[in-house]
Amino acid sequence: MENEFLKNRFHITRRHFLGKLSLGLGSVALGSLLIPDLLKSEYDDVPQISGLPHFAPKAKRIIYLFQNGAPSQLESFDYKPLLNKMTGEELPASIRMGQRLTGMTSGQAKFPLVGSYFGFKQYGQSGAWVSELFPHTAKIVDELCFIKTMHTEAINHDPALTFMQSGAQQGNRPSMGAWLSYGLGSENKNLPAFCVLLSRGRGNGQGVYSKLWTNGFLDSVHQGVQFSSSEERVLYLQDPSGRDRESTRKMLDNLAQLNSLNYKEFGDPEIEAKVQQYEMAYRMQTAVPELSDLSHEPDHIIKMYGADCLSPGTYASNCLLARKLSESGVRFVQLYHQGWDQHDNMVGDMPLQAQDVDRATAALVLDLKQRGLLEETLVIWGGEFGRTNYCQGDLKKKNYGRDHHPRNYTIWMAGGGVRPGIVYGETDDFGYNIVRNPVHVNDFHATVLHLMGLNHEQLTFKHLGRRYRLTDVAGKVIHDLLA
Amino acid sequence: MMSLNRIALNVIFCIQILLVFLLIAGDRIVLPAWLQVAGRLHPLVLHLPIGFLIFLAVIHLFPKHVDKDSLQRLIHIGLVITSLFASIAALFGFFLSLQGEYGTDALMRHRTAGVLLSWFCYALLLLHRVDEKQRFFYGFGALTLVTLIVAGHTGAVLTHGQNFVLAPILANKELTVENASVYEFAVQPILDRKCFSCHNEVKAKGGLVMTSIDKFKEGGKHGKPWVEGKPQESRMIKAFYLPLSHDEHMPPDGRPQLTPVEISTIEAWIKSGADFEKKLNQFADGDSLKFIVASFAASKSDAPVEEKTYSFSAASGDVVEKLNTPYRSVFPLFKDSPALQADFFLKGSFQVEFLRELNSISQQLVVLNLSKMPVEDKELEFIATFTNLENLNLNFTRIEGTGLRTLEPLANLQTLSLAGTSVKAGDIEPLLSLPRLREVYVWNTQIAEAEREALSKKYPDVTITGNLFSDSETLKLGKPRLENDGVIRKGELISLKHSMPGVVIRLSKDKTDPDSIKSDVYDKPFPATESMVLKAKACKDGWFCSDVLKATCFVEGIAPVNVELQSKADVQYPGKGAEGLTDMQKGFADILKEPSWLGYREGPFSTNFDFGKSISLKSIVISHAENIGGFVFPPQEVEIWAGDNVREMKMLKQLKPVQPTGYTPNGVEALPIPLDSGGSYRYYRVVARPLAKLPTWHNSKGERGWLFVDEVFFY
């Protein structure tokens, strides 16, 4: 009898079932009203580029001191005393682990380890190791955040350089500066958001080319503007003889009208970009002379950067100009200093290279600091990969060379919300492999964008049917590097 | 009555389904404002199911006061009400959770418990109807009560925090750098987070107990975990550094790992003697442990300041838009932030009006950058009206300091930059007691280093940054610069320049290095008649003289009417062919691929120059590259032939140039060949042979050298 009742209770008629079902479905429908993009694909919305950081930024500007050619980490900041003990001995197979080499040393019968010819000491309260070649950098180690475990995917200069600059090894993507110009716009409308300064040292050099500061598929206003190494830092800014500023203005106004007619007809965004470029060039006629005027630099500033800072085209003068550009609101100042490719003659070349950059680099950091700008300016120093712990070619008594080594290299960052006075990451005693806390180039990019207040996953651009990022499909922010 | 009952049952059912759906949809949901209000009612509604459920439990304590039938009816009605309010509370709670103001872990626990409770109440209601004999009913009821307690507790943790009830008796004093030893303050919390879970009195993996200091000192079955002063030899540190896959690596793979900062803290602690008692101020100033601990004592105190929020409302987009001109940028600090920054550019065009126009955003302005603008003290009074200003940059303005006192109302000011102005110590002092001021920059002002130090001592909360660079070293000047570009035309003057004011340039034209006292002083541009090597250096008091500038000046000569190559250049470096040799376009010694250069390696360079008529030449200059690393050397041998007929020429001169004896910087060199025959000819032929074998000191000794020629000049 009880069971009959029970059965009756469970006995659900079709009408009853459908009634309940409709109630249930109704609830689900009600709930779905709360999800605005339920039927849209996750990526359907074109992200609104507002020209503003996604969240409160730590750094507002970047000065990237790119050391082109790959300075040796083993002669600069990654101290490996074991290599000095084992100089001349063969690189153990357990360390090399059959990893790939460049064509320049893959044919070598022997891989003799070689220690740094130059001495190391610890400096500052953080106790970072710095080689004797960088006495001025040594004085500011407590401002710096060394990353000893950068690693990259490319083993030759061009792809590695391109990877470091654009997050891809092939040169068709926008450079870092272009992405920042796209994401954050220009602080100062009278100067480009992305400026490029070149210099070459006395060591064996590698080329730099304009694809490194390309806008890629972004609007061409985001392209890096290369400054000249001559005294006239931007060419053709002076009014031509016989024409005054006012007639230039009139000419530009009329030209803009013609261009806007053209734009209405063809709708090509490059026409608009061009008009904007003309306008900026016009304003740069006033802004740039203000920058290249050194008469207001106190004498001790010149001493700080070294006398070379008065000779246009030197690394020191580029550092000084970088500070002035950055101070004037240029979002991204990219320096390239060539000559760090020490396949041989490490003992001869490396001191010259270090001498060229050491003083001015330290001066730049201190100069920013004493103006109260270091907190909002991120300074980055480093190359595209590292150098091998074994000698390329014959190991001579007093000289040696090192080949390309993408598995670990050292860079440093300062200011702009980076944690000062730390050494991040650990390489093995042979300086060949990463033991702890690797930082991939994508991670580096993600972290830099994070410091600038940008989420690297949200800074995207749709091109050829898919969305691209500086970090493409990888990269994570390394929070340990943040202050 | 029955219809009310049915409506209630259906509503409960609907809410259950909705809850399931919402749980699945998770964070894709966006709540409209009115539902946010419903969410905020959660703390009110949640008390109803608690009360009813407890009432239903308690009523069973009085079986004699209620007859059985009434009791069952009462329970049914009670369960309907409980379940209804439990569902509503869960739903509202869900809405509240989407407003995201709580820690996620605790929130997840409460959410799960709340939803479970709502389901259990519904299940209990169904069970009451089905389970006539009530075999499971009371068991399930007890389970529901337990869930109620869990949900209630986790909810209370969210609102009141952990240990809210017992806090008065547990009263644990907070550890600070002052009251705790460095071990308690900095090291123990790390071990607590990463090690204690396995190495405690109960678990004691490897025999090691870290929770008690005495047992920690005794160590585990492998002995003491550290060696005082020697972190490299300490078992503990080694375990941190072993590869993750290694068995001895600690914490084991899969457990939370130590961060680099944590490891360096423990390392520094062992290095300074692994002391359990010492406080921070007992360590020497240079001790790395002190440095590390002090830095994170500081970060601990300001850790909660994550994203700053502002109480004022945003200015309208129109207002901000209008304020943007080429001379002034105004923009929010970041997306959706009401706080604004204003930057000024182009000091030549600055007008005080530009600054005054900011009064429309006087509430919102948080960062003001007037660096380099000709702003004077009288404007400071206006700047003081930006009540929320946090960062004021007045570097290199015309501020003299007398007006700084008027900035005193800026209670939110945190950073003040005055570098490069003429402010004095007395001017800034009144501002240093501003409540939130942390950073002041006074480099390159009238404030002397001693005054800066005194102020820093008096106002320890404010970091006053002065001159950071001091160096008594004497430096070398940069080289002077040759202003002429390429080939010097007839009548053109040679001009030297140096950007440093007050330098003296000394020069020599005879290939000797100039002397800083005896050599000629360069005072004005001078003419050149023939290609020459110019050497110059710059000197100034207080600096070492510059390195010597060595420049080869090539001067325009007699131009031939026709040039004909007798031997082809290397296929890789054909240059512009014969015409390139007299086009006055100079090449760079670093870029040999450019069209100025003709390169020869296998055979000699041999070229005929036709002057149209007989002429007499005094000398010929071959302009060639030197790029030792690139195997580019001066020619091994040069011959000059001449004649009035191309087929009948005689050799006028043969010469073996001096070869470099070591690596030299790359350069374009002039090789002068004096012709002393005095004869007059129409055709001249220049033959130059590349170096057959690189010298023994060269890295690639014995290889064939290259010869690169870009111009040939005739005088």
Distance CA B171, CA B187 (A): 22
Pairing relation of β-strands A194-200 and A332-338? parallel
Q: Scanning every residue of chain B, which has its alpha carbon at the shortest distance from the alpha carbon of A306? A: B475
Total structural domains within chain B? 5
Question: Which residues on neighbouring strands pair with residue B707, listed in sequence order?
Answer: B600
Question: Does residue B490 sit in the same domain as residue B459?
Answer: no
Nearest in space to B208 (alpha carbons), one of B153, B149, B248, B154: B248
Q: Is there a contact between B335 and A50 if contact means CB atoms under 8 Å apart?
A: yes
Q: Within a 10 A sphere around the Cβ of B73, how many other Cβ atoms?
A: 12
The two three-digit tokens of residue A11, written as one number: 């006995």
Judge contact between A431 and A116, C-beta under 8 A: no
Q: Is the pLDDT of residue B100 over 70?
A: no
The string of pLDDT tens digits covering residues B270-322 is 888 888 888 877 877 777 777 777 766 555 443 433 567 788 888 888 899 89
Strand partners, B688: B605, B638
Q: Is it the case that residue B468 has pLDDT exceeding 80?
A: yes
Residue of chain B whose Cα is closest to the Cα of A393: B699
Residues A343-356 pLDDT 10s: 999 999 999 999 99
Query: Are B348 and A371 an interchain contact pair (Cβ–Cβ within 8 Å)?
Result: no
Which candidate, A436, A475, A433, places its Cα nearest to that of A457?
A: A475
For residue B183, give the DSSP letter.
I
The SS3 of residue A351 is helix
Q: pLDDT at residue B111 above 50?
A: yes
pLDDT band at A186 (very low <50, low <70, confident <90, very high): confident
Residue A197: CA atoms inside 13 Å, Cβ hemisphere, count? 27
Tell me whether residue B669 is exposed, middle or buried, using C-beta atoms within 10 angstroms of its C-beta: 0 to 12, 13 to 18, 19 or more. Answer: middle
Task: Compute the average pLDDT of residues B94-122.
Answer: 82
Q: Which of A34, A188, A363 sits opposite B329 (nearest CB)?
A: A188
The answer, yes or no, to whether residue A87 has pLDDT greater than 90, is yes
Q: Of B536, B553, B570, which residue sits at a domain end?
A: B553
Please give the Cα distance from B576 to B598 (Å, whole number).
Answer: 8
Please tell me which residue of chain A has the smallest CA distance to B284. A125
From A142-151, A228-237, A397-406, A458-467, the region with the lowest mean pLDDT = A228-237
DSSP assignment of A122-147: EETTTTEEEETT-HHHHHTGGGEEEE
Domain range for B88 is 2-160
Burial letters B562-580, b for 16+ CB under 10 A, else e = ebebeeebbeebebeebeb
Domain closes at, from B499, B530, B553? B553
What average pLDDT does the structure give for chain A? Answer: 90
The length of chain A in residues reads 483
Q: What is the CATH number of the domain that holds B343?
A: 3.80.10.10
Cβ <8 Å between A34 and B395: no
As a whole number of angstroms, the distance between CA B308 and CA B292 comes to 26
Whether B472 is in a domain gets the answer no
Percent of chain B at pLDDT > 70 equals: 95
Q: Please, what's the largest Cα pairwise distance for chain A? A: 115
The reply to whether B467 touches chain A by the CB within 8 Å rule is yes
- Looking at the complex, does the CB of residue B238 fall below 8 Å from at least one CB of chain A? no
Disruptive mutation site among B21, B350, B701 for chain A (greatest number of A CBs within 10 Å): B21
Please tell me whether residues B55 and B98 are part of one structural domain: yes
**Higher-scoring residue by pLDDT: B560, A242:** B560
Interface of B with A in 563-582 (CB under 8 A): none
Based on the domain organization, do B547 and B658 belong to the same domain? no
Is residue B592 within 8 Å of residue B678, measured between CB atoms? no
With bands split at pLDDT 50, 70 and 90, how would you rate the model's confidence at B257?
A: confident
- The pLDDT score that the predictor gives to residue B280 is 78
Q: Tell me, yes or no, if B471 comes closer than 8 A to chain A by beta carbon.
A: yes
Q: Which of B10, B21, B337 sits opposite A31 (nearest CB)?
A: B21
Whole-number pLDDT of residue B302? 39
Lookup: tokens for A211: 């694809």
- Which pLDDT score, from 0 to 100, does residue B432 have? 93
Last residue of a domain, one of B259, B277, B301: B301
Contact B29 A34 (CB under 8 A): yes
Q: What is the pLDDT of residue A295?
A: 63
Closest by Cα among B244, B250, B230, B233 to A436: B244
- Distance CA(A280)–CA(A274), nearest Å, equals 10
Q: Per-residue pLDDT tens for A98-156?
A: 899 999 998 898 999 999 999 999 999 989 999 999 999 999 999 999 999 999 999 99
Q: Which of residues 244-303 of A touch B (CB under 8 A)?
A: 283, 286-287, 290, 294, 296, 298, 300, 302-303
- Asked if residue B308 belongs to a domain, the reply is no
Complex ipTM above 0.90?
Answer: no
Taking the Cβ of residue B349 and every Cβ of chain A, the question of whether any pair is shorter than 8 Å is answered with yes
Same structural domain, B6 and B47 = yes
Which positions 317-356 of A are in contact with B (Cβ < 8 Å)?
A: 327-329, 344, 348
- For residues A475 and A441, give the distance between their C-alpha atoms in angstroms, rounded to a whole number: 8
**Chain A residues within an 8 Å CB radius of B288:** 125-127
Q: Strand, coil or helix: what is B706?
A: strand
Question: In terms of domains, do B445 and B489 share one?
Answer: no
Q: Which domains does chain A have, with CATH numbers?
A: 61-481 (3.40.720)
The values of phi and psi at residue B121, to 5°, are: -60, -40
Per residue in B356-395, pLDDT tens? 999 999 999 999 999 999 999 999 999 999 999 999 999 9
Q: Dump pLDDT digits (tens) for B624-653.
A: 999 998 999 999 999 999 999 888 899 999
pLDDT of residue B304: 38
CB distance A283–B326 less than 8 Å? yes
**Do B260 and A424 count as a contact with CB atoms less than 8 A apart?**
yes
Phi, psi for A80 (deg, rounded to 5): -130, 85
What pLDDT, on a 0 to 100 scale, did the predictor assign at position B264? 85
pLDDT of residue B101: 56
Closest CB to B335 among A52, A426, A437: A52
pLDDT 10s digits, B210-234: 888 888 888 888 888 888 888 888 8
Pairs from B696-704 (Cβ < 8 Å, separation ≥ 24)? B697/B661, B697/B662, B698/B628, B699/A344, B700/B631, B703/B631, B704/B601, B704/B602, B704/B631
- B589 and B536 in one domain? no
Domain for residue B172, yes or no?
no
Give me the half-sphere count of Cα atoms (radius 13 Å) on the Cβ side of residue A481: 34
Q: For B464, which residue in chain A has the nearest alpha carbon? A: A370
Nearest residue on chain B to A53, judged by CA atoms?
Answer: B334
CATH number (domain holding residue B596) = 2.60.120.1190
Going by C-alpha positions, the residue among A444, A405, A433, A437 that lies closest to residue A423 is: A437
Indicate the residue type of B334. Answer: F
Are B567 and B699 found together in one domain? Answer: yes
A308 touches chain B (CB under 8 A): yes
pLDDT digits (tens, 9 = 90+) for A196-251: 999 999 888 888 888 999 999 998 889 999 998 887 888 888 888 888 888 989 99
Q: How far is B632 from chain A (nearest CA, A)?
A: 15
Contact A202, A209 (CB under 8 A): no
A395 or A15: which carries more pLDDT confidence?
Answer: A395
Which residues of A are less than 8 Å from B335 in CB distance? 50, 52-55
**Is residue B367 domain-resident?**
yes
Q: Is the CB of residue B31 less than 8 Å away from at least one CB of chain A?
A: yes
Indicate whether B176 belongs to any domain: no
pLDDT band at A408 (very low <50, low <70, confident <90, very high): very high
> Cα separation of A8 and A25, whole Å?
25
Instruction: Note whether B345 contacts A480, CB cutoff 8 Å.
Output: no
Domain co-membership, B442 together with B500: no
Angle between helices A315-327 and A346-370 (to 10 degrees): 20
pLDDT tens, position by position, B661-714 = 988 888 899 999 998 877 899 999 999 999 999 999 998 889 999 999 999 999
- B475 is a domain residue: no
**Does residue B633 lie within any of the structural domains?**
yes
Distance from CA of A35 to the nearest CA of B (A): 5
Task: Give B173 to chain A, closest Cα distance, Å.
Answer: 28
B133 reaches A (C-beta below 8 A): yes
- Secondary element (H or E) of residue A405: strand A402-405
**Does residue B521 share a domain with residue B409?**
no
Contact yes or no for B16/B87 (Cβ under 8 A): yes
Tell me what pLDDT residue A318 has: 94
Radius of gyration of chain B from Cα atoms? 44
CB B352 within 8 A of CB B379: yes
pLDDT at A39: 62
Chain B residues close to A370, C-beta within 8 Å:
419, 441, 443-444, 465-469
The pLDDT of residue A312: 84
Q: Report the chain B residue with the minimal C-alpha distance to residue A3.
A: B132
CB A404 within 8 A of CB A342: no
What is the least distance, in Å, from the CA of A99 to any CA of chain B? 19
* More confident of the two residues B678 and B265: B265
B72 or B86: which leads in pLDDT: B86
User: B314 burial class (0-12, 13-18, 19+ CB within 10 angstroms)?
Assistant: middle
Query: For the segment B475-507, what is each residue's pLDDT rounded down to a tens digit?
Result: 888 888 888 877 888 888 999 988 888 889 999
Rounded-to-integer distance, Cα A57 and Cα A453, Å: 4
B512 within domain boundaries:
yes
Question: Which of A16, A27, A95, A123 has the highest number of chain B CBs within 10 A, making it the mutation to test binding with B?
Answer: A27
Q: Quick check: A88 contacting B, CB < 8 Å?
A: no
**Amino acid A9: pLDDT:** 60
Task: Give me the mean pLDDT over the B454-459 stretch.
Answer: 93
Q: How confident is the model at residue A49 (pLDDT cuts 50, 70, 90)?
A: low
Instruction: Give the closest of A55, A127, A453 to B288, CB-based.
Output: A127
Report CA torsion sign: A312, A313, A317, A318. Answer: positive
- Per-residue pLDDT band at A70 (split at 50, 70, 90): very high
Q: What residues of A are in contact with residue B349 (Cβ under 8 Å)?
A: 286
Nearest to A369 among B465, B629, B699 (CB): B465
Q: Which of A277, A269, A290, A322 is nearest to A64 (CA)?
A: A322
Give the lowest-confidence range in A356-370, A433-447, B182-196. Answer: B182-196
- Does the pLDDT of residue B130 top 90, yes or no? no
Residues B577 and B695 in one domain: yes
Asked whether B157 and B108 are in contact (CB, 8 A), the reply is: no
Kindly indicate the confidence band of residue A6, based on its pLDDT and cuts at 50, 70 and 90: low
Residues B203 and B285 in one domain: yes
Which pLDDT tens digit goes with each residue over A274-331?
Answer: 888 888 888 888 888 888 777 667 778 888 998 888 888 899 999 999 999 999 999 9
Name the residue among A6, A283, A303 with its Cβ closest to that of B475. Answer: A303
Backbone angles phi, psi at A290, to 5 degrees: -60, -35
Is the pLDDT at A1 greater than 50, yes or no?
no
Q: Please count the residue pairs, one from chain A and one from chain B, whose beta carbons lie less than 8 angstroms apart.
A: 184
CA B385 to chain centre: 33
SS3 label, residue B249: coil
Query: Which residue reads 């993507």 in tokens?
Result: A173
Q: Are residues B549 and B566 in the same domain?
A: no
